[in-house]
Amino acid sequence: MGRNSEREADRHIDNLLGLHGQFAAALSHPPAMTDFALCARRMQARGRICLFSLTGGSVALPEDGSAPEWIEILPLGTFTTSDGRGPFHADGKAIIAATKAHGLDRGLPIDYDHGTYLRDDSRAAGWIHELKIAGGKLLARTEWVDRGAKAIAAREYRFLSPVFEFDPDDRYAPPEKQSGRVLYLTGAALVNNPALSMTPLAA
């Protein structure tokens, strides 16, 4: 394929995903081309971001490999991603209060590979019903549906990627001009290719 054809293909993918030229830009920086990078770019335009949780040890995983009830969902304080996104600023108490005001009582969905945003597939692997702070992390109490629990136990999915609303000073400004303050959680996804080293959902 010639370079002009490649550029045209990249523009077509940009249009399909609504990335406004960012797909081609990402391809010019291979280390940043992860499912996280594409998902973050796709949702940033909507004022949302997906983030693969940082490594930690706040939750003891079930020894039998079953899906844990409490899962780590977000680091607290100031954090950045491996591809340079952020810094983000997360206040646990403020996030819990705001998430309660935005539907936590109904349950926040955990989908598969961010299908809600990327493929129009909102089937839930589980539901988040409660949040708490422990070990510098935000933890979520999760009710897994049968399919989601089996996927974790079988190691078909091993990692979690939260989705949250954040507060940019200007939604279309470059990242260094955005505040990065995390407002509240809207859900999460089961994933397999995290951009960051993190604790798996199953041993």
pTM, two decimals, is 0.68
User: pLDDT (tens digit, 9 = 90+) per residue, 152-181?
Assistant: 999 999 888 888 898 876 667 776 777 889
Report which DSSP code applies to 54.
P
CA 178 – CA 171 distance, rounded (Å):
7
- Is the CB of residue 137 less than 8 Å from the CB of residue 27? no
CA 82 – CA 36 distance, rounded (Å):
10
Largest CA distance in the chain: 54
User: pLDDT (tens digit, 9 = 90+) per residue, 91-120?
Assistant: 999 999 999 999 999 999 999 999 998 988
Residues in the chain: 203
What pLDDT does residue 188 have? 92
pLDDT band at 151 (very low <50, low <70, confident <90, very high): very high
- Is the CB of residue 54 less than 8 Å from the CB of residue 196? yes
Lowest-pLDDT choice from 39-48, 76-85, 136-145: 39-48
Residues 6+ apart with CB under 8 A from 120: none
For residue 190 the two structure tokens come to: 């089961």
Omega before 174 cis (within 30°)?
no
CA 135 – CA 78 distance, rounded (Å):
15
User: How many other CB atoms are there within 10 angstroms of residue 199's CB atom?
Assistant: 19
Lowest-pLDDT choice from 23-27, 81-85, 86-90, 132-136: 23-27
User: pLDDT (tens digit, 9 = 90+) per residue, 27-71?
Assistant: 433 333 344 444 555 554 444 545 544 334 444 555 566 788 999
- Residue 145 in this model has a pLDDT that exceeds 90: yes
Q: What is the dihedral of CA 5, 11, 12, 18, to 10 degrees?
A: 170
What pLDDT does residue 56 have? 40
Per-domain residue ranges of the chain:
49-191
Higher pLDDT, 187 or 168: 187
* Cα angle 72-78-80, degrees, rounded to a multiple of 5: 80
pLDDT band at 79 (very low <50, low <70, confident <90, very high): confident
CA 72 – CA 53 distance, rounded (Å):
7
- Is the CB of residue 50 less than 8 Å from the CB of residue 190? no
For residue 69 the two structure tokens come to: 């009830």
Q: H or E element: which one contains 73?
A: strand 70-75
Lowest-pLDDT choice from 10-19, 71-80, 99-108, 124-133: 10-19
- Residue 13 in this model has a pLDDT that exceeds 90: no
Which of 198, 182, 194 has its CA nearest to residue 76?
A: 182
